[in-house]
Amino acid sequence: MKDHTLIQAILDASHDGIIAVDQNSTVIWVNKNALEILGLPPHIVGEKITRYIPHSDMLRILATGKREIGDIATVLNRQIIINRLPISIDGDIVGAVSTFKEITDIQKMELRIRKQSMESGLEAKYRLEDIVGQSSAIREARELAETFGMTDATVLILGETGTGKELFAQGMHLCSQRATGPFVAVNCAALPGNLLESELFGYEDGAFTGARKGGKPGLFELAHGGTLFLDEIGEMSLPIQALLLRVLQEKKVRRIGGERIFPVDVRIIAATNRDLEELIGRMEFRSDLYYRLNVLTLELPALRQRPDDIPALVWSMIREIEERDDRCIVEVSEQVFELFAKHDWPGNVRELRNVVERMVLLCKGGRLDLSDAAFFAKKVQRGRKVQDIQPAIDEADLIRRVLQETKGNRAEAAKILGMDRTTLWRKLKKYGVMLP
C-alpha cells in the first residue's frame, strides 16, 4: 500500500499525462495530468479503458507490441502529442503505457530552450518609436514600417549601409503579432557559403568533420514563432538561395546530415544595399526568390537625403554615450553641425555614430568643438576631392593602389578606404579589379 501511494505520488508529479493498462486493457495506473488532459473521472482505475475511450490506441499496442512515438491527436479541442509503449517483462507484453502532453506546453518549452540556447541576439531591442528623426523621409519610412509590421508578410528593406535596416527590422518585429517571439538576425555576407548553410539550417551530430556533438539547431529553428532577419541577402550564394527558397515554400527545414523535418513558422525580413534586379540580370540572384522576398518593400533614405535629422541623431547618440561612459556634454558648437552638413556620409548613421563617439572621447570639457573633429574635417575634404573631381574610374585606381600597398589584404584595404568589406568586394567586382 505504501509503495502504491509512493508510485501514485511520483506519477502525479510528472508534467506529462500517464495512463497504463494491463494485457486485458484494464486501466492499472493513471495520473492527475492524464485525467485533466483527457477529461476523465478519477475512478477509472480497474475499469476497461474502452469504456471511456472506445477506440483506444492502446489496444493496438497490446496487439502489436510496437511502440508509437510522437503521434498527434486532438482531445477536447486541444492538440496533444502522445507516446505509446508496450510494457514487457521478461519478453512478454504485460500491458501498455501512454504518456502525452499538450502541444502548447511543448511549444512554450521549445521557445524557452531556443531563447536560452542563444546568449544574445534573440530579442529585438529597438521599437519604431526609438528610431530618431523627424524629416519627412524618415517619418514616412516609420509609418510604412508600422503598417508592414502589423502584417505577417515578407518585407524587403532597401537602403545603403548604416541607414538603420536592422533597426527597422527590429521595430517591425516588435509591432507585429510575433513581438513576444524571437528575433534572430544573420548577416549573409559575414559567413562563407557552407558556414552560412549550417548556421541557417543547423546540422545533426556527425554531419561533417568538426560538427558539434549532439548537432546544432539552425537559425530557422531558433526563429520559430518569430522573425528571421536576413541582412545583406544580395551576398547569398546561389546554392543557398535555392535552399532558402525551398524553406520559404515548404515551411520546413531539414538539418544538414539529418532525416528529421522540423516545421518552422518564421516571418522573413530581408535587407540589402544592392540592386537585386541588376544581380538577377547577371544571374547572381534567383528571380523566383526575389519575387518571394519582395512582397513589401521598405526603402530607407540615406543620411545625406535627410540632413535635418543630424542634430537630433547627434544628441541622441551623445545621451547614449553619456549614460554608458558617465560623461556630460552640454553643448555642441554650430561649426560642428556645419561641418557635418557638408559631408555626404557614405556610411550613413553608423558613420555618424563613429564620428560622434570619437569626438566625445577626444573632448576635454563639456562642449564638442571643431577642434575635437580635426580627424573628421580632413576626411570630409578628402572625400570631397575623390567624389567631386575624380569620377568612379579613379576610385578603381585608388582601390588598386591601396590593395597593392596592403599586398592584397582586403580587410586592411577596406579599413584604409573607410568602407566595409562587402562594399570593397562589390567595388572590386564592379571595376573588375584583379587582385595582386
Ligand X SMILES: Nc1ncnc2c1ncn2[C@@H]1O[C@H](COP(=O)(O)OP(=O)(O)OP(=O)(O)O)[C@@H](O)[C@H]1O
Q: Which spans of this chain sit near ligand X (rule: CB under 6 A)?
A: 131-133, 159, 161-167, 231, 273, 313, 349-350, 353
Closest CA relative to residue 366, chosen from 331, 319, 401, 341: 331
Q: What is the DSSP letter of 21?
A: E
Select 257 or 307, whichever has its Cβ closest to ligand X.
307
C-beta closer to ligand X: residue 82 or 356: 356
* Minimum gap (Å) between residue 346 Cβ and ligand X: 11
Report the nearest approach of ligand X to the CB of residue 15 (Å). Answer: 41
In the bound complex, what is the minimum distance in angstroms from residue 219's beta carbon to ligand X? 16
CB of 270 to ligand X, least distance (A): 11
The nearer residue to ligand X, 33 or 348, going by C-beta atoms, is 348
Residue whose C-alpha is closest to residue 189's, from 237, 139, 119, 132? 237
| Pick 44 or 298: Cβ nearer ligand X | 298
For 204: left if phi > 0, alpha if psi spans -120 to 50, otherwise beta; the answer is beta
Q: What is the DSSP string of 83-111?
A: EEEEEEETTEEEEEEEEEEEHHHHHHHHH
Cα(122)–Cα(144) distance, integer angstroms: 24
* Between 31 and 170, CB nearer to ligand X: 170
- In angstroms, the CA 260 to CA 108 distance is 21
Query: 97 vs 157, which CB is nearer to ligand X?
Result: 157
Q: How far is the CB of 213 from ligand X (least distance, A)?
A: 33
| 115 phi, psi to nearest 5 deg | -65, -45
With 0-12 / 13-18 / 19 or more C-beta atoms within 10 angstroms meaning exposed / middle / buried, residue 196 is buried
**Minimum separation from the CB atom of position 161 to ligand X (A):** 4
CA-wise closest residue to 67 among 53, 51, 85: 85
Kindly report the backbone phi and psi dihedral angles of residue 287, in degrees, each rounded to the nearest multiple of 5, phi listed first: -70, -35
For residue 224, what are the CA distances in angstroms to 82, 83, 111, 167, 366? 22, 24, 8, 20, 47
Task: Give whichever of 83 and 354 is closer to ligand X, judged by the CB atom.
Answer: 354
Min dist. Cβ of residue 221 to ligand X (A): 23
Question: Distance between CA atoms of 76 and 38, rounded to whole angstroms?
Answer: 7
CA distance 232 to 220: 17
Closest contact distance (angstroms) between CB of 294 and ligand X is: 17
Strand partners for 100: 17, 82
DSSP for 282-350, please give it.
Answer: TTSS-HHHHHHHTTEEEEPPPGGG-GGGHHHHHHHHHHHHHHHHT----EE-HHHHHHHHH---TTHHH
Residue nearest to ligand X (CB): 164
Distances (CA, A) of 151 to 68, 268, 329: 39, 12, 41
> Minimum distance from CB of 131 to ligand X (Å)?
4
3-state secondary structure of 8: helix
| Residue (17 or 347) nearer to ligand X, CB | 347
> Residue 256 carries which DSSP code?
B
Q: Considering beta carbons, is residue 86 or 133 the nearer one to ligand X?
A: 133
* Residue closer to ligand X (CB basis): 108 or 125: 125
The distance of closest approach from Cβ of residue 295 to ligand X in the complex, given in angstroms and rounded to an integer, is: 20
